[in-house]
Amino acid sequence: YPTEKIRNFSIIAHVDHGKSTLADRLLELTGTIKRGLGAQYLDKLQVEKERGITVKAQTATMFYNYKSKESSTSYLLNLVDTPGHVDFSYEVSRSLAACQGALLVVDAAQGVQAQTVANFYLAFESNLSIIPIINKIDQPTADPDRVKSQLKSMFDLDPSDVLLTSAKTGQGLEHVIPAVIERIPPPPGMSDSNLRMFLLDSYYDEYKGVICHVAIVDGSLRKGEKITSAATGQSYEVLDVGIMHPELRSTGFLLTGQVGYMVSGMRSTKEARVGDTLFHNKTIVEPLPGFKAAKHMVFSGLYPADGSDFEGLNNAIERLTCNDASVSVARESSTALGLGFRCGFLGLLHMDVFHQRLEQEYGTHIISTVPTVPYIFEYSDGSKVEVQNPGAFTANPKIRVVASWEPTVLATIIIPSEYVGAVITLCSERRGEQLEYSFIDSQRAFMKYRLPLREIVVDFYNELKSITSGYASFDYEDSEYVASDVVKLDVLLNGQPVDAMATIVHNLKAQRVGRELVDKLKKFIDRQMFEITIQAAVGSKVIARETISALRKNVLAKCYGGDVTRKKKLLEKQKEGKKRMKRVGVYFRI
């Protein structure tokens, strides 16, 4: 296929607007998969199925016979699937780099939502041709005219360019691929230049090893050739190359403008740097503009629920990060929880999905600590450090923190107008600063806020949903660090600090958070033989305190005779306690 007969495009949409269903229909329509086999073919992982969200971008090649008035020509179409959620926006922009166009899918009833806005701008800034599609027109509440006018007022998209479809009933789908061929330009690469290959994604396959998804920007790639990575300088031999149709189909070569896979004997996905440029050995090429490395914005400690099973957790994490190089992992130990890991994630959903995959795919039970964000601290000795772990706040008692900065996000919130008041209250409670407030039509408001990331990592989205009866849509992008007055809040049980429960909070909130923590802990801790004091403290100053009085009867004494069943019960109880602790970790809003 010469490049004029190739089209590379992706589908972008707000979560649930029907991106995966539409992708399935296009695969069926082109005979790439059998009808009915779909069930969201491109969403492979179990969590994705369960949550109905796309996590890892997948790509498929399709062939299509395009009939114009004069002739019928075969086209090669590469559909680059993209995740819909904000945490993965780096994957979206990565996927878009291999495309010249995008289908912007909007639900006919829900209209433009927060991620529609975010995704539109990602595509727009990558200079892609955008084909607006209003999907789910079969729904009784569909109002395509209203959505058309939103698309016009928000993005200046011409209503006459909008396609109307139902991925469910099939209505309107026949116009989608012709629009792709007519409106999206072919890839611009040069076939007689040296090879420049862009690394889109990689995953680990038990039999084949590391499989890279690649886009051939210039030149061509053949099996047996030797290639070098611009990022690492490492050389490899191309062992296999082909297309995803949608299963891997070896072709022995990939030509300019094509998207496909390559196997090259890389040992781990860490060698396959996403955004890297690969070229033939002994040639000199200008590397393609890469992507900034994914920045980890949310950290949490992960510990085996059964303290002894550190090795099990270790293995599970190793295997899982083989396929998700975007998680950072460092060993950590806690006096309360034993040996574990501190993991860094791109965002909240990313963290949630990782936790869930650990439990589901590896049967691991884990305790996770309250998520934290990276702060920057300047110390009295002049050093400036990024701190990801509350424990490291003042690791050295001789130096003091003299200034601190915290990360913020730019949040987009779209809501029915009657909820504006409630959302403004929530955002100001969370130390937000309103940057923009307008209406996208007579019923919907659009707001932009700067919010400290710290304030949205726990529970923000749930609360936003609950105060707006589920109608709010929310998206955010990382923004700058701003100066902030933060302190470390310690939790002490009988005077002993519990390292895993320490957290960093804004000074103004320390009192309230400390009180909430102590009250909640009081409910979670069982009465014991002795009195327990629970304290929250900033430095040496105790800001909240509760006591749990001792049990009157000495139940433990009965154990001394070596009553095995009783001991077992106590052990069971301890396990329960740990489970509860896990909940404590997850649900504390701090």
For the segment 56-85, give every residue that binds ligand GTP (CB under 6 A). Answer: 84
52 touches ligand GTP (CB under 6 A): yes
To ligand GTP, the closest distance from the beta carbon of 15 in angstroms equals 4
Return the residue of 15, 57, 96, 215 that touches ligand GTP, per CB under 6 A.
Answer: 15
C-beta of residue 97 within 8 angstroms of C-beta of residue 277: no
To ligand GTP, the closest distance from the beta carbon of 236 in angstroms equals 33
- Say if residue 83 carries a ligand binding annotation: yes
350 touches ligand GTP (CB under 6 A): no
408 touches ligand GTP (CB under 6 A): no
C-beta of residue 166 within 8 angstroms of C-beta of residue 137: yes
Given the complex with ligand GTP, which of 168 and 566 has the nearer CB atom?
168
x/- mask, ligand GTP, residues 528-567, rule CB under 6 A, reads ----------------------------------------
Q: Show the tokens assigned to 414.
A: 């779209």
18 touches ligand GTP (CB under 6 A): yes
- Say if residue 213 carries a ligand binding annotation: no
Q: Over the range 519-543, which residues count as b (16 or more CB within 10 Å of their CB) and which as e? A: ebbeeebeeeeeebebbbbbeeeeb
x/- mask, ligand GTP, residues 274-303, rule CB under 6 A, reads ------------------------------
Q: How many CB atoms lie within 10 A of CB 430?
A: 19
* Residue 156: partners with Cβ closer than 8 Å, 6 or more residues away: none
Question: What is the spatial distance between Cα 258 and Cα 6, in angstroms, rounded to a whole number?
Answer: 7
* Selection from 548, 538, 456, 444 nearest residue 493 by Cα: 548
Length of the chain: 590
Question: What is the spatial distance between Cα 279 and Cα 323, in angstroms, rounded to a whole number?
Answer: 24
Question: What is the spatial distance between Cα 583 and Cα 360, in angstroms, rounded to a whole number?
Answer: 18
For the segment 127-186, give every residue that binds ligand GTP (CB under 6 A). Answer: 135-136, 138-139, 166-168
**In Å, how far are 2, 128, 182, 289, 588 from 186, measured between CA atoms?**
10, 11, 10, 20, 51
- Say if residue 15 carries a ligand binding annotation: yes
Specify the stretch interacting with ligand GTP by CB under 6 A; choose among 48-56, 425-433, 508-516, 544-552. Answer: 48-56
Given the complex with ligand GTP, which of 53 and 411 has the nearer CB atom?
53
Angle CA(316)–CA(338)–CA(459) in degrees, nearest 5?
A: 70
Given the complex with ligand GTP, which of 105 and 199 has the nearer CB atom?
105
104 touches ligand GTP (CB under 6 A): no
Q: Show the tokens assigned to 466.
A: 């609950």
To ligand GTP, the closest distance from the beta carbon of 430 in angstroms equals 26
- Say if residue 14 carries a ligand binding annotation: yes
Question: What is the spatial distance between Cα 354 and Cα 343, in angstroms, rounded to a whole number?
Answer: 10
Return the residue of 7, 8, 19, 300 that touches ligand GTP, per CB under 6 A.
Answer: 19
Return the residue of 6, 27, 45, 53 that touches ligand GTP, per CB under 6 A.
Answer: 53
* Selection from 137, 242, 133, 148 nearest residue 180 by Cα: 133
Question: What is the spatial distance between Cα 471 and Cα 140, in angstroms, rounded to a whole number?
Answer: 18
Binding site residue list for GTP: 13-20, 81-85, 135-138
Interacting residues with ligand GTP (CB under 6 A)? 13, 15-21, 40, 52-54, 84, 135-136, 138-139, 166-168
